[in-house]
Structure formats: structure tokens, C-alpha cells
């Protein structure tokens, strides 16, 4: 793969917002035992980077001296517009292994799905690997043609990779699997004798709720009696005595 290059400049004495208004992206370069350096990138040039630039080594060119080999560690974007606000570059040593996540690419046809009528499920879309910076692949393939029967599965241990790459995910974890399609049977509610089915009119002659009585399903809350006051019924009982 051809090396990806990106030109950068040392940060001018302006605020980050001033740089953004001038179509410049504030950025930071750090790592490899060196002090972090504040730089800036042309917004248009950064937008032209290929997708592979976000998982491969990039050569940063400051215009003088030896280019720095870096990985894009973080990209901060404006939530509503996706405008790039800040970029962090991590400087790497080409002779030192690093840990990185790359996508899985699913290829081939699963007979368990096309012939046996199963369904395919993906448990992972990425894989974490360890390798030297220049050995980072664009992706790792998952060959679905090995799924011949229902319940066949592909594990991380089954993936074919370069001997220069080590998979860090648990090797017994399932990546893809052919499963049986199960029909969901909806249960029809059965009315119990004496209960009205929803939507039916109440039987003729059924007593209607008294005025002021709570509707079905509602709770009746009694009003608290006032302190120190007698109810009319209580007064009548005293007179009889």
C-alpha cells in the first residue's frame, strides 16, 4: 500500500476558533517519548484523506526535516455538522509493535443460509490486533463459505491472517454463525366466562356506575374528615339518646 502523506504546519499564535474560521484545524502530535507539539492542518487537505488513513500509519510532513510516522488517535467533530474541530496524532516507532482495531470484511456465500434456509448473524464487525505499524492490514477477511450447516460458526481462531499479525480477541469468540429461523406465534387472548372482551358492549341490564363513582381501573380516594367537626349522622344519633 502506498504511504499516506499529510502536510502540517506549526501552530500559529491564534486561538482554536480563529484557526477554524480560517479553514485550519488545530491538532496535536505526541508520543514516542517526545513532548507534544501543537500544529495545524488545512481543512480541505484533511478531508481528502482516504478511509484507510484512520487505521494506518501516516507520514506527517512539517516541511523541514524527517517526516513523522503517526496514527490518527482521535478526531473531535461538531455533533450537528460533523465539522472537524480537533485532531490528535500519535507518533509511533516503526520497529515497535502496537495495538489497533481493524474492520472485518465478510466474503463468500454461506450454504447454511442460501441452501438450508438458515439466517446469518454477525457477532463482531471489528478485530483487535497487534503488529508492527507497517504491517497493519486494511481489513481481515471472514470467509462465510465455511458455514455449511445450521449452527455452524466461525471463531476468531478460524480467521486466516498473516504470521506478522496477532489477534487479541478471545480466539473462541464467535464472529459469525448460521442459525435456524424461528417463527414467532402470536397468542390470541381467550375471554374468561363472565369477563367482557375488550371492544364488546356491556351486557344489557348491567348496572351502570353510580354518578361520581370511579371508573373501572381507577382508585377511589376518600376525602379526609375535618378535625373537630361532627357528621350529620353523628348528630342524629346523639338526639335519639
pLDDT score of 181: 86
Mean pLDDT (the chain, rounded): 82
Measured distance CA(111)–CA(213) in Å, rounded:
65
pLDDT score of 60: 92
Closest CA to 102 of 146, 65, 151, 51: 51
Segment (H or E) for 107 = strand 98-107
Q: Which residue has the cell 482554536?
A: 16
- The pLDDT-based confidence of 183 (bands split at 50, 70, 90) is low
User: Quick check: 101 and 127 in contact, CB under 8 A?
Assistant: yes
User: How many C-beta atoms lie closer than 10 Å to residue 91's C-beta?
Assistant: 18
Q: Is residue 112 exposed (0-12), middle (13-18) or buried (19+ Cβ within 10 Å)?
A: buried
- The pLDDT-based confidence of 217 (bands split at 50, 70, 90) is very low
The tens digit of pLDDT for each residue in 59-100 reads 998 877 788 899 999 999 999 999 999 999 999 999 999 999
Is the pLDDT confidence value at 236 over 50?
A: no
Is the pLDDT confidence value at 235 over 80?
A: no
Between the two ends of the chain, the Cα-to-Cα distance in Å is 109
Closest CA to 176 of 240, 105, 230: 105
Local structure of residue 3 (DSSP, 8 states): P
The tens digit of pLDDT for each residue in 133-179 reads 989 998 999 999 999 999 999 999 999 999 999 999 999 999 999 99
pLDDT score of 1: 59
pLDDT score of 195: 57
Is the pLDDT confidence value at 189 over 90?
A: no
pLDDT score of 190: 65
Measured distance CA(14)–CA(17) in Å, rounded:
8
Closest CA to 160 of 132, 139, 136, 135: 139
Measured distance CA(221)–CA(145) in Å, rounded:
67
Core vs surface per residue 64-82: b (16+ CB within 10 A) or e: eeebbbbbbeeeeeeeeee
Measured distance CA(21)–CA(10) in Å, rounded:
17
Q: Which residue has the cell 504546519?
A: 9
User: Can you read off the three cell numbers belonging to residue 181?
Assistant: 429461523
pLDDT score of 28: 95
Amino acid at each position: 500500500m502506498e504511504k499516506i502523506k499529510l502536510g502540517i504546519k506549526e501552530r500559529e499564535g491564534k486561538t482554536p476558533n480563529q484557526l477554524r474560521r480560517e479553514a485550519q484545524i488545530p491538532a496535536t502530535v505526541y508520543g514516542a517519548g517526545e513532548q507534544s507539539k501543537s500544529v495545524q492542518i488545512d481543512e480541505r487537505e484533511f478531508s481528502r484523506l482516504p478511509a484507510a488513513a484512520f487505521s494506518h500509519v501516516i507520514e506527517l510532513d512539517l516541511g523541514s526535516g524527517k517526516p513523522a510516522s503517526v496514527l490518527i488517535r482521535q478526531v473531535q467533530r461538531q455533533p450537528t455538522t460533523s465539522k472537524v474541530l480537533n485532531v490528535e496524532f500519535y507518533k509511533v516507532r516503526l520497529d515497535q509493535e502496537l495495538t489497533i482495531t481493524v474492520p472485518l470484511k465478510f466474503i463468500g456465500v454461506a450454504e447454511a443460509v442460501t441452501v438450508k434456509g438458515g439466517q446469518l448473524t454477525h457477532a463482531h464487525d471489528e478485530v483487535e490486533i497487534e503488529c508492527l505499524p507497517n504491517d497493519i492490514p486494511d481489513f481481515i477477511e471472514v470467509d462465510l463459505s465455511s458455514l455449511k450447516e445450521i449452527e455452524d460458526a466461525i471463531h476468531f481462531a478460524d480467521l486466516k491472517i498473516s504470521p506478522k499479525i496477532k489477534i487479541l480477541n478471545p480466539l473462541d469468540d464467535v464472529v459469525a454463525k448460521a442459525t435456524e429461523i424461528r417463527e414467532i406465534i402470536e397468542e390470541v387472548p381467550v375471554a374468561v366466562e363472565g369477563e367482557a372482551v375488550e371492544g364488546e358492549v356491556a351486557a344489557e341490564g348491567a348496572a351502570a356506575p353510580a354518578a361520581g363513582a370511579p371508573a373501572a381501573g381507577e382508585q377511589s380516594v376518600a376525602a379526609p374528615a375535618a378535625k373537630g367537626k361532627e357528621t350529620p349522622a353523628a348528630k342524629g344519633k346523639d338526639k335519639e339518646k
